Amino acid sequence: MPDSPLSFPPIAMIDLGPAEAAQPLAARPDAIESEGGHTQVAIIGSGPAGLTAAIYAARADLAPIVLGGAAPGGQLMLTSDVENFPGFPEGIQGPELMARFREQAERFGTRIVDQDVDRVDLATRPFQLWARGTRYTADALIVATGASALWLGLDSETRLRGRGVSACATCDGAFFRGKRVAVIGGGDTALEEATFLTRFSPDVLLIHRRDQFRGSRIMQQRAIDHPGIDIRWNTEVAEVLGDGVVEALRLRDTQSGREWEEPIGGVFVAIGYRPNAEVFRDWLPADAAGYLEVEGETGSVIPGVFIAGDVHDHHYRQAITAAADGCKAAMDAERWLDEQAAAPRVAVPSIAAAG
């Protein structure tokens, strides 16, 4: 590794003039406070997909910038033990795993900026990205902004996250072997998670605030017929109870308002995910649920823009699959850059402009 692998242009301060500068930045979406520099590959997102892409791009001497978000590290920062990521036979804490991803990306020369990208312009190359008033330009872009699990919004739920409250049965179900667990939700994810959890738990409560499920008929029937699943209709969680770990739920009947407590060892919130794709709305097509659409393995409708991880993948949603996607996106970007080395710049219409 060279001593100083990065060679970004110096930051240029643009004089906005006294009148403009007096306005808050948010009121001037086009305002550029400073230049963040140009890179061959910019990566948006610092979860397993983004940081794996960074490791591959950095080792290919592309000196990537990761605009990693105001909450760097991604979803694994919200969990404690990770036992299914290969290479850690004893398991590893989610935040520690992400610190190691980051250290490995930085070791090969990745520059990481812990800020959210609030605007992009993908009309011409180099692509332009803005993060809190700083503009970055890049020849290729990897979008790895992940997804956010939706939570109930209770303080007690936040306090006990990673201590019995989870949003991923595939990831955490095995920790609750022999314990009574609850799944909250009524869509396909909740039905699937409840069925999956019967492998470990003798008693799965499926808590749904309505009197019928939203999920597919076959999944509904499977859950209804399963002897290990106890369905509580018209019921919502009023509070998650427990000191250091989850011990019980206070439930509420949505029709009568009656409240009662149920002892419980673990809670799986399965009320959905929101892909973090809002910033690309005018540029990259998404499906009805907001997940970005991928062309081929990691491509997009815009040549030079690649997509990796949970921002498009609502099927696997695992750190290892997101990391694999990041690897593929970086290799695809590297090859694309090679092919484009002498190509002229082209204008790409935005979805907004076209439609």
* Annotation says 327 is catalytic: no
CB 209 within 8 A of CB 251: no
Q: Using the rule CB under 6 A, is 317 a contact of ligand FAD?
A: yes
219 touching ligand FAD, by CB under 6 A = no
Task: State the nearest-atom distance from the C-beta of 149 to ligand FAD, in Å.
Answer: 4
The answer to the question of residue 84 lying near ligand FAD (CB under 6 A) is yes
Q: Which of 275, 318, 327, 336 binds ligand FAD (CB under 6 A)?
A: 318
Question: Would you count residue 68 as binding ligand FAD (CB under 6 A)?
Answer: yes
**Shortest distance, position 311 Cβ to ligand FAD, whole Å:** 6
Minimum distance from residue 279 beta carbon to ligand FAD (Å): 5
- Exposed e or buried b for every residue in 133-149, given b needs 16+ CB within 10 A? bbbbbbbbbbbbbbbbb
- Residue 145 binds ligand FAD (CB under 6 A): yes
Alpha-carbon distance of 77 to 96, in angstroms, equals: 8
193 lies in the site for ligand FAD, by CB under 6 A: no
Measure the CA–CA gap between 294 and 226, rounded to whole angstroms. Answer: 36
CA atoms of 340 and 84, how far apart (whole Å)? 38
Q: How far apart are the first and last CA of the chain?
A: 47
Distance, CA of 43 to CA of 115 (rounded, Å): 12
The kind and range of the H/E element at 221 are: helix 217-225
Q: Among candidates 74, 46, 41, which has minimal Cα distance to 57?
A: 41
CA R_g for the chain = 23
Catalytic residue of the set 168, 310, 313, 327: 168
Cα dihedral across residues 193, 196, 201, 207: positive or negative? positive
Whether 95 and 103 have beta carbons less than 8 Å apart is answered as no
Q: By CB under 6 A, is residue 327 in contact with ligand FAD?
A: no
Round to whole Å and give the CA distance between 300 and 307. Answer: 7
Helices 48-59 and 319-340 pack at an angle, to 10 degrees, of 40
Minimum CB–partner distance for residue 6 and ligand FAD (Å):
20
> Using CB under 6 A, which of 41, 42, 43, 44 touches ligand FAD?
44
According to the binding rule CB under 6 A, does residue 80 interact with ligand FAD? no
Does 41 interact with ligand FAD (rule: CB under 6 A)?
no
User: What's the min distance (Å) between Cβ of 258 and ligand FAD?
Assistant: 30
Dihedrals φ, ψ of 208, to 5°?
Answer: -135, 135
Nearer of residues 171 and 182 to ligand FAD, judged by Cβ:
171
* Residue 99 Cβ vs ligand FAD, minimum distance, rounded to whole Å: 13
Choose one: 7-15, 18-26, 104-112, 146-154; the region binding ligand FAD (CB under 6 A): 146-154
Site string for ligand FAD, 116-135 (x = CB under 6 A): xx------------------
Site for ligand FAD in 243-272 (CB under 6 A): none
263 within 8 A of 248, measured Cβ to Cβ: yes
> Catalytic residue positions?
168, 171-172
What is the contact surface with ligand FAD in residues (CB under 6 A)?
44-50, 67-69, 71-76, 78-79, 82, 84-85, 116-117, 144-147, 149, 166-168, 171, 276, 279, 309-310, 317-320, 322
